[in-house]
């Protein structure tokens, strides 16, 4: 965990041309070299998602996962359907109906186990 969230590694993620992630450390966003690269042209392609992430992390927008023992299965249904929708294989309505069916099947009876 220490290695994965180290400022040095998160900085490397921002510079990666094959993907990376949005830093979890606010101190990384404050680094002069990161601030300088927040807009194109940039040598840190993965920083371009930062404005969207900052908006998503605001208290009124953040969505924390439900506390259910079947969350991993529910998560798989949601993200599988979302991926199919984004790839053009399903409409948003079809994807969400299918995700709901999967979540409903998975959580049937789980509420009493929480």
* Higher-pLDDT residue of 44, 17: 44
Q: What is the pLDDT of residue 113?
A: 44
* Average pLDDT of the chain to the nearest whole number: 87
Q: Do 99 and 78 meet the contact criterion of CB atoms below 8 Å apart?
A: yes
- The closest of 7, 15, 17, 25 to 47, measured between CA atoms, is 15
C-alpha dihedral over 40, 29, 66, 83, to 10 degrees? Answer: 20
Rounded to two decimals, the pTM is 0.52
Q: What is the pLDDT of residue 27?
A: 92
In this prediction, residue 53 has a pLDDT band, given cuts at 50, 70 and 90, of confident
- Return the residue matching tokens 């606010």: 26
CB-facing half-sphere around the CA of 45: CA atoms within 13 A: 5
* Higher-pLDDT residue of 19, 84: 84
């Amino acid at each position: 965990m220490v290695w994965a969230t180290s400022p040095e590694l998160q900085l490397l993620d921002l510079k990666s041309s094959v993907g990376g992630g949005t830093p979890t450390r606010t101190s990384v966003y404050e680094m002069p070299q990161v601030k300088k690269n927040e807009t194109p042209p940039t040598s840190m392609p993965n920083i371009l998602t930062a404005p969207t992430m900052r908006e998503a992390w605001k208290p009124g927008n953040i969505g924390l996962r439900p506390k259910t023992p079947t969350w991993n299965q529910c998560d798989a249904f949601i993200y599988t359907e979302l991926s199919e929708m984004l790839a053009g294989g399903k409409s948003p309505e079809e994807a969400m109906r299918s995700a709901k069916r999967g979540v409903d099947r998975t959580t049937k009876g789980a509420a009493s186990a929480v």
